[in-house]
Amino acid sequence: MAFAPMGPEVSFFEVLDQHRASLLATLRRGGREPAGGGTHLASRFEDSVGLQMVSHCTTRKIKSDSPKSVKNFALILKILSMIYKLVQSNTYATKRDIYYTDSQLFGNQAIVDNIINDISCMLKVPRRCLHILSTSKGLIAGNLRYIEEGGTKVNCSCATAVAVPSNIQGIRNLITDAKFLLIVEKDATFQRLLDDNFCSKISPCVMVTGKGVPDLNTRLLVKKLWDTFHIPIFTLVDADPHGIEIMCIYKYGSMSMSFEAHNLTVPAIRWLGLLPSDIKRLNIPKDTLIPMTKRDQMKLDSILKRPYVTCQPFWRKEMEIMADSKMKAEIQALTFLSSDYLSRVYLPNKLKFGGWI
């Protein structure tokens, strides 16, 4: 069933449609970005996939007869036995469920998380193949419908957002007429856009937020929407190193999950805002900006040294603007111009005239 057309006139989406045609042409050529990649630590960067684990990376051994690793070895066996039972019974559990089966034995949740990641990496299978699910914290709203694994029909076009499912692999019959997907860094910004009826005013579209650093399910959902519909995907993040880092996780992946890059990354993602150059262009007052801390500067320097920045000269230019100014800005800085400037002016103009990089 199709969605009823709403929002701006058809000509509004002309540049977006051209961008999608360009993305589809890139896919037909083999999915590669215009420029090449490089290498970095234990991960190899490939522009069509993101950060991937290399075969000759450093490994560590855990021995059953070593006093230093005997406990960790025992915990791995404990979790492997639980995974075996889950697979045999075709049931699922969250990492939190596993931790609470014997919280005193495991000590803390981080130990369980790390062991599960190690097992997934060791066996070279996605975590969901181990029948272990992550607890979702992300939200989705807009022009999208699907059926969950248990048969529940979900309509994301309601006034309130829908929680990202915990089993992305199990959802089916996805339907959308969306022209684009907008990834919003922060929940507060996401909720403000909902309050401003952004999804209705710029319909058809879909919005997703991972509420900061995205959880695995939010990343899997973004990847699934890209693989299914191949619509343009944009990020809306703060003009600071933390926001850029979050955008890079969606687009290129992370070192810790590089062994699963093919299932998580979407290199076609584009940076819509907030761009550091927008701060000067829009005459945002300096008293609404925030001085960068030493930690911010170290994070920005680290990002600038990453291999994928070599194929993103416009990203590099924006980050250099930030580094030179030694200032950062939150998306909320736009409220100085007007309370609804983000949804009424900033995003519509960016989308209509191709203001992404």
**What's the domain range around 122?**
69-133
Tell me which residue has tokens 């409220």.
335
Helix/strand/coil for 341: helix
pLDDT in tens, 60-102: 666 666 677 788 888 999 999 999 999 999 888 888 899 899 8
With respect to residue 278, please indicate whether it lies within any of the assigned structural domains.
yes
Helix/strand/coil for 60: coil
With respect to residue 204, please indicate whether it lies within any of the assigned structural domains.
yes
| Domain containing residue 124: CATH number | 1.10.10.10
> Domain check: are 101 and 237 in the same one?
no
Active site residue 100: yes
> Domain check: are 213 and 297 in the same one?
yes
Question: Is the peptide bond prior to 182 cis by the omega test (within 30 degrees of 0)?
Answer: no
> Domain check: are 173 and 310 in the same one?
yes
pLDDT in tens, 124-162: 787 778 888 877 899 999 999 999 988 999 999 867 899
> Domain check: are 206 and 98 in the same one?
no
pTM of the model: 0.79
The total of structural domains in the chain comes to: 2
With respect to residue 2, please indicate whether it lies within any of the assigned structural domains.
no
> Domain check: are 312 and 237 in the same one?
yes
pLDDT in tens, 200-233: 899 899 999 999 999 989 999 999 999 999 999 9
The last residue of one of the domains, among 83, 103, 133, is 133
Q: Is 162 exposed, middle or buried (0-12, 13-18, 19+ CB in 10 A)?
A: middle
With respect to residue 56, please indicate whether it lies within any of the assigned structural domains.
no
Alpha-carbon gap, residue 330 to 290, rounded angstroms = 8
With respect to residue 248, please indicate whether it lies within any of the assigned structural domains.
yes
> Domain check: are 335 and 228 in the same one?
yes
HSE-CB for 90 with a 13 A CA cutoff: 0
Mean pLDDT across the stretch 240-246?
96
**Catalytic position from the list 84, 92, 99, 100:** 100
Using pLDDT thresholds of 50, 70 and 90, give the confidence band for residue 41.
Answer: very low
Using pLDDT thresholds of 50, 70 and 90, give the confidence band for residue 244.
Answer: very high
Tell me which residue has tokens 């803390």.
108
Contact 162, 118 (CB under 8 A): no
Using pLDDT thresholds of 50, 70 and 90, give the confidence band for residue 4.
Answer: very low
Q: How confident is the model at residue 38, as a pLDDT?
A: 34
pLDDT-above-90 percentage for the chain:
60
- Considering only 50-64, 167-181, 286-300, which range has the smallest mean pLDDT? 50-64
Alpha-carbon gap, residue 145 to 220, rounded angstroms = 16
Phi, psi dihedral angles at 144 (to 5 degrees): -155, 140
With respect to residue 78, please indicate whether it lies within any of the assigned structural domains.
yes
The last residue of one of the domains, among 85, 117, 133, is 133
| Domain containing residue 146: CATH number | 3.40.1360.10
Using pLDDT thresholds of 50, 70 and 90, give the confidence band for residue 117.
Answer: confident
> Domain check: are 248 and 194 in the same one?
yes
> Domain check: are 78 and 148 in the same one?
no
> Domain check: are 148 and 290 in the same one?
yes
With respect to residue 348, please indicate whether it lies within any of the assigned structural domains.
yes
Tell me which residue has tokens 């025992």.
74
> Domain check: are 306 and 176 in the same one?
yes
> Domain check: are 96 and 242 in the same one?
no
Q: Which residue has the higher pLDDT, 127 or 20?
A: 20
> Domain check: are 324 and 233 in the same one?
yes
The last residue of one of the domains, among 113, 133, 153, is 133
With respect to residue 39, please indicate whether it lies within any of the assigned structural domains.
no
Using pLDDT thresholds of 50, 70 and 90, give the confidence band for residue 343.
Answer: very high
Alpha-carbon gap, residue 114 to 68, rounded angstroms = 17
